[in-house]
Structure 1
Amino acid sequence: MNSTIIGVDEAGRGPVIGPLVVSAVKIPNMDIKILEEIGVKDSKKINKVKRMKIFQSIINNCKKRKWKISRIICSASEIDREMRKSNLNQLEVKLFANAIEEIGFSKKIIHINVDACDVDEMRFGKNIKKVLGNRWNQTEIISKHKMDEIDLVTAAASIIAKVTRDSEIEKLNDSTDFEIGSGYPSDLITRNAVKKMIVDKYPHSELRWSWKTVKEEWVQTHNKPVPIRDELGKSIGQKSLDEWTK
């Protein structure tokens, strides 16, 4: 039996702007050497030009060698709605499970490697398995921090996720008359972009309204709490700062 491995990783957990992207990659165990040959490694350790080249090589091999990839793009509004009900770790558990399900179940899958987003590595893997359900009970999930530095299949998933998120940010850049930057709160260009994205009646749809950076900038500009998104993505005004801080 030609056994296969799935690797799963994300890009965009911390940014204040844009989506969170989760990707899964499935390849035959015998093809792992090809990932090494095309230069696959943790996406954070590759420059943009090389990352795009490797991304295209992965896509080409998907066509030639029947590898599979999946990409789940979770918008800023979806993140905000989920944060009202749970937390970022629980959201990522669902997104990782969705990415795995999109790849599809097979008895040939010997194990699934995931880059753990929870401080408790084992808990993250167990929670993904719970969401996946009984069909996946016999499939081992190996959950570790920095799995993209340990496993090439997970590193390939990290490249797919990173390139996909970067593409979404580029689209947003093209739709505005100012630079967005990386989307991370520590980025000065991004912080300046946030200021420009909160001047209207509601924050820009690509902002994560539940993030501290947006809340603080909104209060400074409007002297009232940032609106919140309801289940349909509509805005709900809050009456006072006291209500916001409860």
Structure 2
Amino acid sequence: MIICGIDEAGRGSVIGPLVVLGISIHEKDIPSLREIGVRDSKSLSRKAREELYQKILSLNVNVYEVVVDAAEVDRYLKKRSGLGINVLEASATVKIIKNLRPEVVYIDSPDIKPSRYAERILAMLDYSPRIICEHKADSRYEVVSAASILAKVKRDTILAKLSELYGDLGSGYSSDRRTVDFLSRCLRDKGEVPSCVRRGWKTVDKLLQARLDNFEEG
């Protein structure tokens, strides 16, 4: 039986893409994930994730990823009359399932109602795999943990390339001072932010408003 785990990286970031990634593996090979030390990516250092990335790919697995750029994420924001990030993530998840064709799918649910999210995905599929959709699935199922690790490393690689282009932009999350400083510098020096920034995020709105207030006061 082919099992698939799906998770994302970058959903809440203000800079960079949303990466949704699925990994499929035969049920009998699940113990091999355990043996190489796969666990919840949030409990792993960046270096540990990178080491596991190579180990995971060396196993008998198939991987499919969907990388959604900042502009596309912005288009799905409800505040911009979009369908919502959950719909965007569900669409990416469906692409993954259609490509990997697993019999059982484990998903880390972004919806407060996991059953609703599972139903949304099933409605968009051309076949009916068994879907186990739960909160914190990345800490409960090794196959989802593996997907989480691969997604985070993929996104980290993209962020590193963006940093080469634009300078230090931190982790891309608004909780990171380096990220906020980068956005502030962009607005101060150029009056705009680069295309890798999600312009619909509150962090950008606040910085733009602060800049406008300072301009009016000046």
1:80 is aligned to 2:80 = no
In the alignment, structure 1 segments of 5+ residues that lack a partner are 224-246
Alignment of 1:207-222 (within 5 A): 207-222=197-212
Q: TM-score, normalised by structure 1?
A: 0.81
Q: TM-score, normalised by structure 2?
A: 0.91
Q: CA RMSD in A?
A: 1.5
* CA distances 1:30-65 after superposition (whole Å, capped 9, x unpaired): 00010001111111111111111110011122xxx3
In the other structure, the counterpart of 1:119 is 112
Alignment of 1:32-71 (within 5 A): 32-61=30-59, 65=60, 67-71=61-65
1:18 is aligned to 2:7 = no
- Further displaced range: 162-171 or 77-86: 77-86
Q: Percent identical across equivalent pairs?
A: 35
Query: Which residue of 177, 181, 185 corresponds with 1:196?
Result: 185
1:100 is aligned to 2:97 = yes
- By relative contact order (CA 8 Å, sep 6+), the higher-ranking structure is 2
Q: Secondary structure at the match of 2:171?
A: coil
**Structure 2: distance between partners of 1:111 and 1:198:** 47
Q: Deviation above 6 Å: which 4+ runs of structure 1?
A: none
In the alignment, structure 2 segments of 5+ residues that lack a partner are 214-218
In the other structure, the counterpart of 2:127 is 136
Aligned residues: 210
